């Protein structure tokens, strides 16, 4: 009788927490590790979700906690301010975002040095979602235990995409793509992406363009990761008037070193071999050093010689943009430049304020345009054309730049954020009539400003992933301000939307509709006289629209 009374008293004075773990599609997730944590005590209790995604923790001391969920292939989820009361069973359901949803068919915002995207800014994530550094509670400063040593499940996910669009240089026409991502039991990961498109080369029969990307990530026993990525692209549609197409081979390797909980070193090199009429070989290294002097402060120094790869995060971009500008002999110009940046970020509750100063040196200003040119005009202008989309790229003069950047990120929901940013730097501006064969005479580097507002993230209830942005800078500028810190396709009205299709039995599960648009209102266009006397259009980024379907399995 006394034992029974003791058990009843324990139940009345203890709390119970339970719930279900699902992904954004509503599918229950088995094997997720759920941790109930308190800053001063670390992990209080743990549970593992069953085959229906359910978990339960009984006889928990009432109080205020944090709840964290980790699982292979999912972004860690942290729920703050979980309050448990004595004698009450609290139900906390968790929805986890799958890393595979960010495979970047939908172009992602380039991760900036001053961009703490969430409370896991100080977590290095491999393909298996493994934290290698520990999160520090902003109020108490106490470290929360890492799940770096938790076991992982072998998992594979795939995606098949069918897309079509117009206006994207080197990516027009109908494309069929396949992505396979696999995580091994030890936390290592591998990815494969294959893309075949039907493009116009001037003849009656479309020709295939090919893009093949493979990547591998290995966990380092010293606390870090090694990533190796190789890619090959063949574009028979791209021509400078005398070539039979453009091919590029890229080999990238990066290494991250975590020095305790306070420092991170990220270094790597991108090797490129590009062929138009002649071949160019280039090595483009980078290094990034990050320090955390306080609980809510991040300081970072970054050196990069390429816009394409400035950190290990750059290898997440499974659909890299194409830049190709030839010299008079048809050899692609070297795009190796120099970017140095020092940035400071501070978290203030749900806001993150960032400021940075940078110095750039660009070998040429890559300028996009719309219109068709003859083969002779292309050779005279040292331009490369894509007849499938009716666009071209041409090089402006090289220039040096200095600038400042300030941004504010406001969290709206755990998955959705609003951004405001202001840049002051250098861009190529036109001073009058432009002639394609002598752009250096009509374009000069000048100090100018740019500003942007954006909404980025996911609406969990509707299964919508989105990025909507308006990035403004003066209409007579033809290159981007702060070029190393913006995505190549950002200009004026830009949006990307991926929507899960809910149609019951009408459509298969895991089907997404995707739409992306760049410079939708065709702003910032400037006329230029081609060598053959035609009037063409130059722009920071020409208008482009793509759409399609994606099946996830």
Give the number of residues written for the chain. Answer: 553
Q: From edge to edge, which strands make up the β-sheet containing 33-38?
A: 42-48, 33-38, 63-70, 77-84
Model pLDDT for residues 363-413, shown as the tens digit of each residue:
998 899 998 888 888 889 999 999 888 899 999 999 999 999 999 999 898
Mean of all residue pLDDT scores within the chain = 81
**Is the Cβ–Cβ distance between 276 and 330 less than 8 Å?**
yes
Write the CB contacts of 476 (distance below 8 Å, at least 6 apart in sequence).
429, 430, 431, 526
Residue 98's pLDDT band (boundaries 50, 70, 90)?
Answer: low
Cα-flanking dihedrals φ and ψ of residue 436, to 5°? Answer: -60, -35
Residue 133: name the closest of 267, 258, 254, 43 by CA.
Answer: 258
Residue 332: name the closest of 270, 391, 269, 246 by CA.
Answer: 246
Q: Please state, in angstroms and as integers, the Cα–Cα distance from residue 296 to each residue in 6, 96, 135, 141, following that order.
A: 45, 25, 11, 9
Burial of 141-161, coded b for 16+ CB within 10 Å and e otherwise, reads eeebebbbebebeebebebeb
Model pLDDT for residues 432-458, shown as the tens digit of each residue:
888 988 888 889 999 999 999 999 888
Mean pLDDT of the region 92-115: 54
Whole-structure pTM value? 0.72
- Whether residue 144 has pLDDT greater than 80: no
Structure tokens at 51: 């085959």
**Radius of gyration (Cα) for the chain, nearest Å?**
25
How far is residue 207's CA from residue 173's CA, in Å, rounded to a whole number? 10
* pLDDT value of residue 457: 86
Model pLDDT for residues 272-324, shown as the tens digit of each residue:
999 999 999 999 999 999 998 887 889 999 999 998 888 888 887 767 778 88
Structure tokens at 537: 């259009």
Beta pairing partners, 450: 423
Write the CB contacts of 218 (distance below 8 Å, at least 6 apart in sequence).
188, 225, 226, 227
| Residue 242 CB coordination number (10 Å) | 14
Structure tokens at 219: 């966990």
* pLDDT value of residue 86: 86
Q: Is 540 helix (H, G, I), strand (E, B) or coil?
A: coil
Residue 211's pLDDT band (boundaries 50, 70, 90)?
Answer: very high
Write the CB contacts of 305 (distance below 8 Å, at least 6 apart in sequence).
284, 285, 286, 336, 337, 338, 339
Cα-flanking dihedrals φ and ψ of residue 347, to 5°? Answer: -95, 130
Domains and CATH numbers, the chain: 2-96 (2.60.40.10), 155-552 (2.40.160)
Mean pLDDT of the region 483-509: 81
* CB-count burial class (<10 Å; 0-12, 13-18, 19+) for 356: buried
Query: Which DSSP symbol is given to 201?
Result: -
């Amino acid at each position: 009788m006394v034992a029974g009374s003791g058990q009843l008293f324990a139940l009345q004075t203890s709390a119970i927490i339970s719930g279900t773990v699902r992904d954004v599609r509503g599918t229950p997730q088995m094997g997720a590790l759920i941790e109930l944590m308190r800053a001063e005590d670390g992990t209080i209790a743990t549970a593992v979700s069953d085959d229906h995604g359910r978990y339960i923790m009984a006889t928990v001391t009432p109080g205020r906690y944090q709840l964290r969920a980790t699982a292979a292939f999912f972004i860690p989820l942290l729920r703050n301010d979980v309050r448990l009361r004595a004698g009450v069973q609290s139900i906390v359901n968790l929805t986890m975002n799958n890393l595979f949803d960010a495979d970047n068919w939908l172009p992602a915002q380039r991760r900036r040095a001053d961009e703490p995207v969430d409370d896991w800014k100080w977590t290095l994530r491999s393909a298996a979602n493994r934290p290698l550094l520990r999160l520090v509670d902003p109020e108490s400063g106490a470290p929360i235990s890492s799940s770096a040593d938790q076991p992982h499940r072998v998992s594979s996910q795939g995606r098949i995409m069918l897309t079509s669009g117009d206006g994207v240089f080197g990516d027009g026409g109908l494309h069929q793509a396949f992505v396979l991502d696999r995580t091994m039991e030890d936390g290592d990961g591998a990815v494969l992406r294959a893309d075949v498109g039907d493009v116009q080369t001037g003849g009656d029969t479309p020709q295939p363009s090919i893009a093949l990307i493979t990547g591998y990530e290995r966990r380092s026993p010293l606390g870090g990761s090694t990533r190796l990525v190789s890619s090959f692209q063949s574009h028979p549609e791209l021509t400078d008037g005398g070539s039979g197409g453009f091919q590029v081979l890229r080999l990238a390797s990066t290494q991250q070193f975590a020095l305790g909980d306070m420092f991170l070193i990220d270094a790597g090199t991108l090797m490129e071999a590009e062929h138009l009429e002649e071949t160019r070989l280039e090595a483009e290294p980078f290094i990034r050093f990050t320090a955390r002097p306080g609980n809510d402060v991040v300081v970072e120094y970054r050196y990069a010689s390429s816009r394409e790869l400035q950190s290990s995060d750059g290898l997440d971009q499974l659909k890299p943009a194409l830049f190709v500008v030839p010299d008079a002999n048809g050899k692609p110009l070297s795009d190796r430049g120099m970017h140095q940046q020092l940035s400071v970020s501070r978290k203030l509750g749900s806001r993150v304020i960032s400021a940075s100063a940078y110095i750039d040196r660009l070998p040429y200003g890559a300028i996009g345009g719309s219109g068709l040119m003859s083969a002779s005009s292309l050779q005279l202008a040292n331009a490369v054309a894509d007849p499938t989309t009716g666009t071209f790229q041409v090089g402006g003069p090289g220039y040096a730049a200095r600038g400042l950047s300030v941004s504010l990120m406001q969290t709206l929901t755990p998955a959705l954020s609003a951004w405001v940013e202001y840049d002051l730097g250098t861009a190529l501006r036109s001073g009058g009539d432009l002639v394609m064969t002598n752009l250096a005479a009509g374009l000069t580097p000048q100090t100018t400003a740019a500003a942007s507002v954006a909404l980025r993230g996911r609406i969990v209830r509707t299964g919508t992933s989105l990025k909507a942005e308006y990035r403004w800078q003066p209409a007579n500028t033809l290159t981007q301000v702060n070029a190393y810190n913006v995505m190549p396709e950002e200009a004026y009205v830009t949006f990307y939307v991926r929507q899960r299709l809910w149609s019951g039995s009408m459509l298969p599960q895991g089907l997404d509709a995707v739409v992306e648009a760049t410079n939708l209102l065709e702003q910032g266009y400037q006329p230029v006289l081609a060598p053959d006397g035609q009037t063409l259009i130059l722009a920071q980024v020409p208008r482009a629209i793509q759409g399609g379907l994606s099946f996830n399995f």
